[in-house]
Amino acid sequence: PAQKPKTTLTTWDPILLIAQIVAMQALHYIVMSVLVPPLLAAFAEPDGLAYEGGAANVGMIMDWRLLAGIPTIPNPQLLATWWSGGKKLGTGSTDPSSPFSYIPWIDPMRGWVIALCWLGACTADIYFLYTFVRRPRLILDFTLTLLFNHLVLTTYYSASIPTSGFFWLVLLLGAAMTLIGAEQACVRREMKDGLKVAYSTNEEERGLTEEME
Protein backbone atom coordinates (compact mmCIF):
# COMPACT_ATOMS: atom_id res chain seq x y z
CA PRO A 1 0.00 0.00 0.00
CA ALA A 2 1.10 3.54 -0.75
CA GLN A 3 2.44 5.48 2.20
CA LYS A 4 0.41 8.41 3.44
CA PRO A 5 2.07 11.81 2.95
CA LYS A 6 3.60 13.28 6.05
CA THR A 7 1.96 16.37 7.51
CA THR A 8 3.18 19.16 9.75
CA LEU A 9 1.00 17.75 12.54
CA THR A 10 3.25 14.70 12.92
CA THR A 11 6.65 15.98 11.78
CA TRP A 12 8.99 18.72 12.95
CA ASP A 13 8.44 21.82 10.82
CA PRO A 14 10.89 24.62 11.78
CA ILE A 15 9.07 27.28 9.74
CA LEU A 16 5.76 26.48 11.42
CA LEU A 17 7.45 26.40 14.82
CA ILE A 18 9.06 29.82 14.37
CA ALA A 19 5.80 31.27 13.05
CA GLN A 20 3.93 29.98 16.10
CA ILE A 21 6.52 31.41 18.50
CA VAL A 22 6.43 34.83 16.82
CA ALA A 23 2.64 34.79 16.69
CA MET A 24 2.31 33.91 20.39
CA GLN A 25 4.77 36.62 21.45
CA ALA A 26 3.11 39.23 19.25
CA LEU A 27 -0.41 38.35 20.39
CA HIS A 28 0.65 38.52 24.04
CA TYR A 29 2.05 42.04 23.58
CA ILE A 30 -0.98 43.12 21.53
CA VAL A 31 -3.28 42.15 24.39
CA MET A 32 -1.00 44.02 26.81
CA SER A 33 -1.04 47.11 24.58
CA VAL A 34 -4.84 47.04 24.58
CA LEU A 35 -5.19 46.62 28.35
CA VAL A 36 -2.36 48.71 29.81
CA PRO A 37 -2.92 52.27 28.47
CA PRO A 38 -6.59 52.75 29.46
CA LEU A 39 -6.18 51.11 32.86
CA LEU A 40 -3.08 53.14 33.69
CA ALA A 41 -4.79 56.33 32.57
CA ALA A 42 -7.69 55.50 34.88
CA PHE A 43 -5.88 54.32 38.02
CA ALA A 44 -2.21 55.40 37.99
CA GLU A 45 -0.87 58.64 39.48
CA PRO A 46 -1.01 61.08 36.52
CA ASP A 47 2.15 63.12 37.21
CA GLY A 48 4.32 60.05 37.68
CA LEU A 49 2.75 58.50 34.59
CA ALA A 50 3.56 61.60 32.56
CA TYR A 51 7.16 61.55 33.78
CA GLU A 52 7.59 57.97 32.57
CA GLY A 53 6.31 58.88 29.09
CA GLY A 54 2.58 58.37 29.47
CA ALA A 55 0.29 55.37 29.63
CA ALA A 56 1.07 54.36 26.02
CA ASN A 57 4.85 54.31 26.55
CA VAL A 58 6.32 50.98 25.41
CA GLY A 59 8.26 50.85 28.67
CA MET A 60 5.03 50.13 30.54
CA ILE A 61 5.15 46.69 28.93
CA MET A 62 8.84 46.13 28.30
CA ASP A 63 10.52 47.64 31.39
CA TRP A 64 10.39 45.23 34.33
CA ARG A 65 11.12 48.07 36.78
CA LEU A 66 7.76 49.72 36.08
CA LEU A 67 5.91 46.50 36.89
CA ALA A 68 7.99 46.10 40.05
CA GLY A 69 7.44 49.70 41.16
CA ILE A 70 11.15 50.50 41.08
CA PRO A 71 12.39 53.96 39.98
CA THR A 72 13.86 53.97 36.49
CA ILE A 73 16.46 56.53 37.67
CA PRO A 74 19.05 55.06 40.08
CA ASN A 75 19.12 58.12 42.35
CA PRO A 76 16.13 60.47 41.89
CA GLN A 77 17.49 62.80 44.59
CA LEU A 78 20.15 63.99 42.15
CA LEU A 79 17.52 65.80 40.11
CA ALA A 80 16.70 69.36 41.12
CA THR A 81 13.40 69.61 39.24
CA TRP A 82 11.57 67.74 36.51
CA TRP A 83 9.14 68.96 33.89
CA SER A 84 6.64 67.45 31.47
CA GLY A 85 4.65 69.34 28.86
CA GLY A 86 5.78 72.66 30.28
CA LYS A 87 4.47 71.70 33.73
CA LYS A 88 6.68 71.43 36.80
CA LEU A 89 6.01 68.04 38.35
CA GLY A 90 8.32 68.05 41.38
CA THR A 91 11.79 68.28 42.83
CA GLY A 92 14.29 65.96 44.42
CA SER A 93 13.58 67.42 47.84
CA THR A 94 12.22 65.15 50.55
CA ASP A 95 11.35 68.10 52.79
CA PRO A 96 7.69 67.62 53.84
CA SER A 97 7.18 71.40 53.71
CA SER A 98 8.08 71.48 50.02
CA PRO A 99 5.05 71.46 47.69
CA PHE A 100 7.04 69.22 45.33
CA SER A 101 8.45 66.80 47.91
CA TYR A 102 6.50 63.86 46.50
CA ILE A 103 8.52 61.65 44.12
CA PRO A 104 5.92 60.75 41.46
CA TRP A 105 7.72 57.94 39.69
CA ILE A 106 7.34 55.61 42.68
CA ASP A 107 3.69 54.68 42.20
CA PRO A 108 2.67 51.28 43.63
CA MET A 109 -0.69 51.42 41.85
CA ARG A 110 1.07 51.52 38.48
CA GLY A 111 2.87 48.26 39.22
CA TRP A 112 -0.34 46.54 40.31
CA VAL A 113 -2.16 47.67 37.18
CA ILE A 114 0.62 46.38 34.89
CA ALA A 115 0.75 43.11 36.84
CA LEU A 116 -3.00 42.56 36.44
CA CYS A 117 -2.73 43.35 32.73
CA TRP A 118 0.08 40.79 32.42
CA LEU A 119 -2.12 38.15 34.06
CA GLY A 120 -4.96 39.16 31.77
CA ALA A 121 -2.70 38.66 28.73
CA CYS A 122 -1.67 35.25 30.11
CA THR A 123 -5.35 34.33 30.31
CA ALA A 124 -5.73 35.29 26.65
CA ASP A 125 -2.67 33.14 25.88
CA ILE A 126 -4.71 30.10 26.90
CA TYR A 127 -7.02 30.67 23.94
CA PHE A 128 -4.11 31.44 21.58
CA LEU A 129 -2.29 28.23 22.54
CA TYR A 130 -5.51 26.25 22.27
CA THR A 131 -6.10 27.65 18.78
CA PHE A 132 -2.63 27.80 17.22
CA VAL A 133 -0.53 25.17 19.04
CA ARG A 134 -3.28 22.66 19.82
CA ARG A 135 -1.07 19.76 21.00
CA PRO A 136 -0.91 19.34 24.82
CA ARG A 137 2.70 18.12 24.81
CA LEU A 138 3.86 21.43 23.27
CA ILE A 139 2.04 23.76 25.67
CA LEU A 140 4.85 23.72 28.26
CA ASP A 141 7.48 24.46 25.61
CA PHE A 142 5.60 27.43 24.20
CA THR A 143 4.76 28.81 27.64
CA LEU A 144 8.40 28.73 28.74
CA THR A 145 9.54 30.13 25.39
CA LEU A 146 7.22 33.13 25.75
CA LEU A 147 8.49 33.71 29.28
CA PHE A 148 12.15 33.39 28.25
CA ASN A 149 11.72 35.74 25.29
CA HIS A 150 10.15 38.39 27.50
CA LEU A 151 12.97 38.09 30.02
CA VAL A 152 15.51 38.63 27.25
CA LEU A 153 13.60 41.62 25.84
CA THR A 154 12.95 43.31 29.18
CA THR A 155 16.58 42.84 30.23
CA TYR A 156 17.74 44.39 26.97
CA TYR A 157 15.23 47.26 27.18
CA SER A 158 16.02 48.21 30.77
CA ALA A 159 19.73 47.35 30.54
CA SER A 160 19.42 45.44 33.81
CA ILE A 161 18.58 41.91 34.92
CA PRO A 162 15.23 41.64 36.76
CA THR A 163 15.85 41.42 40.49
CA SER A 164 12.38 42.11 41.88
CA GLY A 165 10.63 39.27 43.67
CA PHE A 166 7.24 40.78 42.77
CA PHE A 167 8.17 40.78 39.08
CA TRP A 168 9.21 37.12 39.17
CA LEU A 169 6.09 36.17 41.14
CA VAL A 170 3.81 37.79 38.55
CA LEU A 171 5.61 36.13 35.62
CA LEU A 172 5.62 32.69 37.22
CA LEU A 173 1.97 32.98 38.26
CA GLY A 174 1.03 34.00 34.73
CA ALA A 175 3.01 31.12 33.24
CA ALA A 176 1.33 28.65 35.60
CA MET A 177 -2.12 29.96 34.66
CA THR A 178 -1.35 29.68 30.95
CA LEU A 179 0.19 26.22 31.25
CA ILE A 180 -2.59 24.66 33.32
CA GLY A 181 -5.44 26.29 31.43
CA ALA A 182 -4.17 25.64 27.90
CA GLU A 183 -2.99 22.10 28.61
CA GLN A 184 -6.30 21.10 30.18
CA ALA A 185 -8.26 22.62 27.30
CA CYS A 186 -6.16 20.82 24.69
CA VAL A 187 -6.37 17.49 26.53
CA ARG A 188 -10.16 17.76 26.77
CA ARG A 189 -10.37 18.47 23.04
CA GLU A 190 -8.17 15.49 22.18
CA MET A 191 -10.24 13.21 24.41
CA LYS A 192 -13.42 14.47 22.81
CA ASP A 193 -12.04 14.01 19.30
CA GLY A 194 -10.76 10.55 20.23
CA LEU A 195 -14.21 9.47 21.42
CA LYS A 196 -15.72 10.70 18.14
CA VAL A 197 -13.17 8.78 16.09
CA ALA A 198 -13.72 5.60 18.15
CA TYR A 199 -17.49 5.89 17.77
CA SER A 200 -17.18 6.46 14.02
CA THR A 201 -14.87 3.44 13.65
CA ASN A 202 -17.26 1.20 15.58
CA GLU A 203 -20.15 2.30 13.38
CA GLU A 204 -18.15 1.52 10.22
CA GLU A 205 -17.16 -1.92 11.50
CA ARG A 206 -20.75 -2.65 12.44
CA GLY A 207 -21.92 -1.64 8.97
CA LEU A 208 -19.31 -3.87 7.30
CA THR A 209 -20.35 -6.81 9.51
CA GLU A 210 -23.98 -6.36 8.59
CA GLU A 211 -23.11 -6.24 4.88
CA MET A 212 -21.07 -9.44 5.12
CA GLU A 213 -23.94 -11.20 6.85
| 8 Å CB contact between 105 and 78 | no
Q: For 38-44, what is the mean pLDDT? A: 94
Q: How many residues does the chain have?
A: 213
pLDDT in tens, 72-89: 876 555 455 555 556 665
Q: What is the mean pLDDT of residues 38-63?
A: 90
* Percentage of residues in the chain having pLDDT higher than 90: 54
Least confident of 34-43, 113-122, 125-134, 198-207: 198-207
> Over the stretch 154-202, which tens digit does the pLDDT of each residue have?
999 999 999 999 999 999 999 999 999 999 999 999 888 765 554 455 5
Phi/psi-derived region of residue 75, left when phi > 0, alpha when psi is between -120 and 50, beta in every other case: beta
> What pLDDT does 63 receive?
94
**pLDDT for res 83:** 58
- Can you tell me the mean pLDDT for 53-72? 90
Q: What is the value of pTM for the model shown?
A: 0.76
**In the chain, how many H helices and how many E strands?**
7, 2
Residue 5 has pLDDT above 60, yes or no: no
Question: What mean pLDDT value characterizes the chain?
Answer: 81
Q: What is the pLDDT of residue 180?
A: 95
Q: How far is CA 89 from CA 22, 38, 85, 97, 102, in A?
A: 40, 22, 10, 16, 9
**142 pLDDT above the threshold of 90:** yes
- DSSP letter at 76? G
CB atoms within 10 A of CB 95: 9
Rounded-to-5 percentages of helix, strand, coil across the chain? 70, 5, 30
Res 8: pLDDT: 44
Q: How confident is the model at residue 101 (pLDDT cuts 50, 70, 90)?
A: very low
| Secondary structure (H, E, C), 77-111 | HHCCEEEECCEEEEECCCCCCCCCCCCCCCCHHHH
Contact 44, 110 (CB under 8 A): yes
Please state, in angstroms and rounded to a whole number, the distance separating the CA atoms of residues 163 and 129.
29
